[in-house]
Chain A
Amino acid sequence: MVLRSVGNTVRLLPTLLSLGTVVGWAPNTTAADERPNIVLIVADDMGFADMGMFGGEIRTPNLDALARQGVRFTNFYTTTTCSPTRAMMFSGTDTHIAGLGNMEEMVAPNQRGVPGYEGVLNDRVVAFPQLLRDAGYHTYMTGKWHLGKEPDKIPAARGFERDFTILQGAGSYFDDTGLNMRSPKSIFTRDGKYLTKLPKNFYATRTYTDEMIEFIESNRGDGKPFFAYVAHQAPHDPFHLPKDWLRRYEREYDQGWDVTRRQRLGRMIELGIIPEGTRPSERMWFLPAAANLAPGARAIMARKMELYASMVENMDHHIGRLIEYLKSTGEYENTLFIFFSDNGPEGTDLGAMLRGRAGSENFLFHAIKWSQTHPDAWGRAGSYVGYGAAWAQVSATPFRLYKGWLAEGGIRSPLVVSGAGVRQPAGSINHGLMHVMDVAATILDIAGVDHPSNYNGREVAPLQGKSWKTMLAGDAESPRGSEDWLGWELWGNRAIRKADWKLLWMHKPMGIADWELFNLREDPAETQDLASQHPEKVRELLALWDEYVTTNNVIIPDRHMFESLEDALPVRVPVSEGWPPMNFKRPFVPPKELLDEGSGG
């Protein structure tokens, strides 16, 4: 009896073993092992043309290496400021649904209390890191959050297993000095707790990288893939740098913004980022030609761009450290890298805006905390330096305008995707129409995770973004077809893009407070309004705008930050290069042979 039982058992053993494999006796990580790590790096306020492989002269060897190994995308869109972009990135749907229909700082009276306008990432959406975590990914975040400060809104509540973040939109890079009286201290979290003390020798860009490396290292070898989101504060102002980074670009921008912009344009054409013959947008009418500035004034203005360039290179340096770490641990080959900027470069004097007028509480705050105004102090703690509209135009080359506006300069972002799963030719450039809402769809698709219609007992908005997985695999040119379109609205500015056409409404004086039509293939800098020549196209795109408003419950704000801008700026006039001649012509020098010293007497 015993022998027969043993024999029966022995015969059953292979079956039993195979059953164990199917049922999951083998570790769950067998399936997870095949899924790639995903590193998502988002820069803050970096321009389309800043990094080397997009035509910039700023030294970004690590980002350039990712671009050489991967793909650059030239028609990738965000929206025009930080938190709405980040809301769309995490939710995969429009910002007016996800809670950032307006920024927390600017919600208009007619938007208050309306779902989608909470100023935080709301519960009508599920953040994709939550879904990744549920599906067995480690989820890590360092850097800027800007999507809510309450305990149920911070990163730990939205799917991040580990986090080290600044909750506000900006602040000092050296400590927790905040930006105004209503936000005097930057609030940091670490692993779901609000920090009362920052790490020793804190410097934002470096510390965010250090913390991320520590997070990844802490679970290395457990077989689970990770999603690492590094939301750099850089190069958002104030420009703050360690001492040995302050002078790296000394004298490199003394030529001025006009020359630098032309040089970038040339390189962008050479690289194939933009087509031959692309005309850049005109210099803003309230900016002087750099050639008309005295050398000292040009040096002062150049100093700001020198600091900005150092900020970008410093960020690239720390991105390189993360990449090197992943290479050293053998994780690099199985990692997908996604890099972009959250919106266009900052051309507004944010420091002046935050400071307000003398006598205000914010002015007092800045007098105490942000009054290191001497040029020798720029870049150091206590200084608030941004680089202004002229250099922002350089960053946004060849496009018009910058952050805060829905012209291309405010919403066209440099996107690099590289690494695991990317089969398009290394170093190639793709011009397909893409949007930041696609990030959630793409990452979930790559991770093999479905986006639910319900989460934790609540209905959640469906994805509007499109996955890039097929395109990255080389099986498609673009995630969108010719009938697909995109829409934007922020602070009353509005835009629709379909194929090569863009319908744009912007407040005066940057726009005309009416719809303008541009053909972006022929005129990427939006210099020629074709609305009167193509009324049928205007009607077509207006219908899409109406659909956009209805689908996403867009409410045009009854108050916005551009209300008095037309009065504050000089009257808008055309900008003609080299005009007036009296400011540009060379001094007359008489011919030597006709000189006469005069006879005197």
Chain B
Amino acid sequence: MTTRFLWIVWGLVLVATVPARSAFAQGDGPRTHWKEMLTDTNIFSLTYMHASGNVDPLDPALRIQPGADFELDLALVGYSRSFALFGQTAIATLLLPVGELQGETTGPLATSDSARGFGDPVLQLDLNLIGAPAMRNMPDLLRYEPDFTLDLVVTLGIPIGEYDNDSLTNIGQNRWYGRVGLPLMINLGDWVPGHRTTLEFMPAVWFFADNDDFLGQTLENDPLFQLEGHLTRDFTRDFWGSLDAVYYAGGESTIGGLSGGELGDLAVGFTAGFQINDNLMLTAGYTATVDDGMDDLDLGVFRINLIFGWHELLEGIDRLGGG
């Protein structure tokens, strides 16, 4: 009984709490910062994203282009690994976007353009500050029952992706950008698979270096403030759902000395998560901005993620047939 049962337990906690890493201003998604895992856990994620609206969805500053219509099909490949840092659980992630972006603008200078290729790789460190000590062994993991967790997330986009300085439509950003966030989770009920209910927030600030080769001009951005919120709930042990909201503020863009407006926009949506097997989870979700007017941010994002997690110990038990 014991080793087989443990194998199942480990598998569930290995993957069930690790949705895909996502590091764009559309928000990370629900349950992304849960830390219920052993150190040295590996996670591979594959995300498909379709986004459309009046902003380049790949632009972390979400710079509104009135009259523009962008359509993005993006695949995001990611690898994460958990480890112990200062006695707490930490997760390091590398994300690589690849896709195709099409953009059309209306008006006197109407254009239609597209770009395809690799985007800017993203590095991220997610370090728990409160509530998730490093779990190095099964007894630690078995006893993990958080009431509250607080993490520090630091994200960095590396500007080596596809970029055409004559085009409005680019996969890469040609500038450094990054984020600092403080995701927090409040456990509202029993920490029992099938019964968990959480309230999650992530306040974050995006920072941007200048793009000094944007259509012959310099693109500058003020910091963008982002507040993400999720109310998540287990429906069964293998199926959960979430109501999502993201608020954006700030991020004023300046091109060649001319400034655009600041953001003050809200996006709402939902996510569902399905545990396919002990290693594999699928999530799917949609968010869209609440449209208050013509010049407001208009962005709808559909995401579907496959996450595969594994741990050397779990694999070994599996090879032995669970005991």
Closest to B138 in A: A296
Is A254 an interface residue when CB atoms closer than 8 A count as contact?
A: yes
Report whether A296 and B191 are in contact in the complex, using a CB–CB cutoff of 8 Å: no
Q: Which of B1-55 contact A (CB under 8 A)?
A: 2-3, 5-6, 9
Is B258 an interface residue when CB atoms closer than 8 A count as contact?
A: no
- Chain A residues with Cβ under 8 A from B145's Cβ? 247, 376
Closest to A374 in B: B193
State the CA gap A298–B2 with chains docked (Å). Answer: 9
Selected contact of B6 from candidates A243, A247, A297, CB within 8 Å:
A297
Closest to A373 in B: B5
Report whether B6 and A376 are in contact in the complex, using a CB–CB cutoff of 8 Å: no
- Chain B residues with Cβ under 8 A from A296's Cβ? 6, 137-139, 141-142
Number of contact residues on A: which range applies? 20 to 34
State the CA gap A300–B237 with chains docked (Å). Answer: 20
A175–chain B nearest beta-carbon distance, Å: 16
Selected contact of B192 from candidates A298, A299, A372, CB within 8 Å:
A372
- Chain A residues with Cβ under 8 A from B191's Cβ? 376
- Chain A residues with Cβ under 8 A from B192's Cβ? 372, 374, 376-377, 380
A577-593 vs B, CB cutoff 8 Å, 1 = contact: the mask equals 00000000000000000
- Chain B residues with Cβ under 8 A from A162's Cβ? none
Q: Which of B207-258 contact A (CB under 8 A)?
A: 237
Selected contact of A250 from candidates B5, B9, B138, B143, CB within 8 Å:
B143
Q: Determine the main DSSP class of A at the interface with B.
A: helix
Is B190 an interface residue when CB atoms closer than 8 A count as contact?
A: yes
Is B264 an interface residue when CB atoms closer than 8 A count as contact?
A: no
Report whether A377 and B190 are in contact in the complex, using a CB–CB cutoff of 8 Å: yes
A244–chain B nearest beta-carbon distance, Å: 12
A10–chain B nearest beta-carbon distance, Å: 80
Is A294 an interface residue when CB atoms closer than 8 A count as contact?
A: yes
Selected contact of A380 from candidates B2, B190, B237, CB within 8 Å:
B190
Report whether A300 and B194 are in contact in the complex, using a CB–CB cutoff of 8 Å: no
State the CA gap A275–B127 with chains docked (Å). Answer: 56
- Chain A residues with Cβ under 8 A from B5's Cβ? 300
Knowing A374-B192, A376-B191 are in contact, say whether A297-B2 is a contact too (CB < 8 A).
yes
Closest to B190 in A: A380
Q: Which of B91-139 contact A (CB under 8 A)?
A: 137-139
Is A375 an interface residue when CB atoms closer than 8 A count as contact?
A: yes
State the CA gap A374–B142 with chains docked (Å). Answer: 10
Closest to B191 in A: A376
Selected contact of B137 from candidates A250, A295, A372, CB within 8 Å:
A295
State the CA gap A294–B5 with chains docked (Å). Answer: 13
State the CA gap A376–B145 with chains docked (Å). Answer: 8
B226–chain A nearest beta-carbon distance, Å: 32
State the CA gap A513–B143 with chains docked (Å). Answer: 44
- Chain A residues with Cβ under 8 A from B6's Cβ? 296-297, 300
- Chain B residues with Cβ under 8 A from A374's Cβ? 9, 192-194, 237
Closest to A306 in B: B143
State the CA gap A296–B3 with chains docked (Å). Answer: 9
- Chain A residues with Cβ under 8 A from B9's Cβ? 374-375
Is A303 an interface residue when CB atoms closer than 8 A count as contact?
A: yes
- Chain A residues with Cβ under 8 A from B139's Cβ? 251, 254, 295-296, 298-299
B124–chain A nearest beta-carbon distance, Å: 28
B322–chain A nearest beta-carbon distance, Å: 13
- Chain B residues with Cβ under 8 A from A250's Cβ? 143
Report whether B193 and A294 are in contact in the complex, using a CB–CB cutoff of 8 Å: no
B142–chain A nearest beta-carbon distance, Å: 5
Report whether A299 and B142 are in contact in the complex, using a CB–CB cutoff of 8 Å: yes
- Chain B residues with Cβ under 8 A from A380's Cβ? 190, 192
Report whether A297 and B3 are in contact in the complex, using a CB–CB cutoff of 8 Å: yes
Q: Which of A282-321 contact B (CB under 8 A)?
A: 293-301, 303
A189-224 vs B, CB cutoff 8 Å, 1 = contact: the mask equals 000000000000000000000000000000000000
B295-311 vs A, CB cutoff 8 Å, 1 = contact: the mask equals 00000000000000000
- Chain A residues with Cβ under 8 A from B137's Cβ? 295-296
- Chain B residues with Cβ under 8 A from A377's Cβ? 190, 192-195
Report whether B142 and A300 are in contact in the complex, using a CB–CB cutoff of 8 Å: yes
A388–chain B nearest beta-carbon distance, Å: 11
Selected contact of A376 from candidates B2, B3, B138, B193, CB within 8 Å:
B193
Q: Which of A251-299 contact B (CB under 8 A)?
A: 251, 254, 293-299
Q: Which of A336-363 contact B (CB under 8 A)?
A: none
B131-158 vs A, CB cutoff 8 Å, 1 = contact: the mask equals 0000001110111010000000000000
Report whether A299 and B143 are in contact in the complex, using a CB–CB cutoff of 8 Å: yes
Q: Which of A485-499 contact B (CB under 8 A)?
A: none
B197–chain A nearest beta-carbon distance, Å: 14
B191-203 vs A, CB cutoff 8 Å, 1 = contact: the mask equals 1111100000000
- Chain B residues with Cβ under 8 A from A300's Cβ? 2, 5-6, 142
State the CA gap A185–B3 with chains docked (Å). Answer: 34
Most central of A243, A254, A296, A299 by chain B CB within 10 Å = A296
B12–chain A nearest beta-carbon distance, Å: 8
- Chain A residues with Cβ under 8 A from B193's Cβ? 374, 376-377
B192–chain A nearest beta-carbon distance, Å: 4
State the CA gap A303–B190 with chains docked (Å). Answer: 17
State the CA gap A372–B142 with chains docked (Å). Answer: 16
> Taking beta carbons and an 8 Å cutoff, which residues of A are in contact with B?
243, 247, 250-251, 254, 293-301, 303, 372, 374-377, 380
Further 8 A-B residue pairs, CB within 8 A, beyond A243-B190, A251-B143 = A293-B2, A301-B2, A303-B142, A374-B193, A374-B237, A376-B193, A377-B192, A377-B194
Show 5 A/B contacts (Cβ-Cβ < 8 Å), sorted by A: A251-B143, A295-B138, A296-B138, A377-B192, A380-B192
The 7 tightest CB contacts between A and B, nearest first, are A296-B138, A299-B139, A377-B192, A376-B192, A297-B2, A299-B142, A295-B139
